Amino acid sequence: MRTAIYPGSFDPVTNGHLDVIERAAKLCDRLIVAVAVNRDKVPLFTVEEREGMICAACATFGNVTVTRFEGLLVNFARAHGAGAVVRGLRAVSDFEFEFQLAQMNNALAADVETLFMMTRPEWSYLSSRTVKEIAALGGAVADFVPAPVAQALARKFAERGETP
């Protein structure tokens, strides 16, 4: 069985992420979407909320599972029998950072390949950070994220009293 991992913080998951998930799922037998727990970052959504939103968005993909991970990605990949890590690229500017990560992962675990996937042009400008900024300012994000994510963003910012 060919297993790949698509890691990220997914805070929140966007249509760009879903584009990569859908296309990567066609290339392997099993795709694990790995929600990163990074103690150095303060995400808007809890890891449980992020997992739930991705599970809901990927419910129709039969070979996609969602779980969280902490620590070295290559250790997680090996523990799950994954031979590849999928990384999404939006623009050339993403490549340098992603290339360095891929090289470091290769130095740590040469048996785990990195596959770069360009997002479709219609999502190349999209980032979770931008979506959160728009939502925090009361802007519409329904074209950029699944409907449940747009609703969760509205609720989260309303709870925090941050929407205009």
Q: What distance in Å separates the CA atoms of residue 94 and residue 91, rounded to the nearest whole number?
A: 6
Rounded-to-integer distance, Cα 158 and Cα 119, Å = 31
Q: Copy the structure tokens of residue 97.
A: 């950072």
Cα separations in angstroms, 31 against 35, 48, 63, 133, 150: 13, 19, 6, 30, 25
Angstrom distance (rounded) from CA 157 to CA 60: 29
Question: Considering only CA atoms, which of 129, 134, 100 is closest in space to residue 16?
Answer: 129
Among the listed residues 30, 80, 87, 128, the single catalytic one is 128
80 is catalytic: no
**Annotated active-site residue in 26, 39, 41, 93:** 41
Decide if 156 is catalytic.
no
Q: Which residue has the tokens 């698509």?
A: 6
Q: How far is 9 from 34, CA to CA, in rounded Å?
A: 8
Which one, of 142, 144, 143, lies nearest residue 154 by Cα? 142
Q: Catalytic one among 50, 68, 87, 90?
A: 90
The token duo for 36 is 């990163």
**Partners of 67 in the β-ladder:** 34
Q: Is 132 an active-site residue?
A: no
Q: Which of 17, 50, 132, 156 is catalytic?
A: 17
Q: Which residues are catalytic?
A: 17, 41, 90, 128
